[in-house]
Amino acid sequence: MEEDWYRGAFGEDYLAAYPHRDEASARPEAAFAIRALGLAPGERVLDLACGAARHSMAFAEAGLRVTGVDLSGPLLAHAVRRMEDHAGPRPALVRGDMRGLPLRGPFHGVACLFSSFGYFDDEGNRLVLREAARVLVPGRRLLLDLANPAWLEAHLVSRDEHREGDLLRVQERRLDHASRRVLKRITFTRKDRAGRRSWEESVRLYDEAELERDARQAGLAPVAWYGDLDGSPARAEARRLVLVAARVDA
């Protein structure tokens, strides 16, 4: 597994790997994030690692001024193409690395959704938290939506297949306890075996104690924990680990 796996993983095939993550599913998730972040219409929100901007567009529909940041040129280009037919307000999209945001802010809220935190080594992940705190208005909030490692330990599916037409998608997963990461290989193969495409993902898993420690070091004080983006309570059997933390004045 290469350390910079994320540079090549997020192309057009990535969207086909997660077809259920669409605009319809993004709207209720964005609505929860707006409530948890305490955002009001007209305020500025940063969609951190926005990908194809499905949450960015939902935030914009809710009347927020939205900036989406992502490192993937292909995903941002896909978002721009989709927005050409979008009649409502549009987010601003910026290409950049979340360890060194090309933005000054300030934002009234930062949202990082769908396990988009944990791509780097531990110091790189801490840089992400520090950058999020830097661009936040003092006292305002960051929301992080992560996989719950306790749930993954109990329910991880090591392999699954899905066929659609002549395209076969295979996903293979394992937990690396030494590095505290979940590793996934995704392979697309056409029936004639032409155009085979495969890539790996590697995401650092955090429990509440680790995440709180790193958030506090970045100047972010936890104010709430949830078990999913529907506001359900945090618990060991929850699928997700959602942290809401406020920037603390230096």
Interhelix angle 208-217/122-135, rounded to 10 degrees, is 60
Q: Check residues 27 and 12 and name the one with the higher pLDDT.
A: 27
Residues belonging to the chain:
250
pTM of the full structure: 0.93
Residue extents of the structural domains in the chain: 6-148+206-247, 151-202
pLDDT tens readout for residues 165-198? 788 889 999 999 999 999 999 998 877 656 788 8
Predicted confidence at residue 72, as pLDDT, reads: 95
Q: Which of these ranges, 88-92, 149-153, 233-237, has the smallest mean pLDDT?
A: 88-92
pLDDT tens readout for residues 37-65? 999 999 999 999 999 999 999 999 999 99
Contact residues for 42 (Cβ-Cβ < 8 A; gap 6+): 63, 64, 65
Residue where the block lists tokens 């970045």: 218
- Residue 159 banded pLDDT, cuts 50, 70, 90: very high
Residue 80, pLDDT > 70, answer yes
Average of per-residue pLDDT values in the chain: 92
Dihedral of the alpha carbons of 36, 121, 201, 53, in degrees to the nearest 10:
40
Q: Could you tell me the fold of the domain covering 6-148+206-247? A: Rossmann fold (3.40.50)
Q: Enter the tokens of residue 23.
A: 């605009």
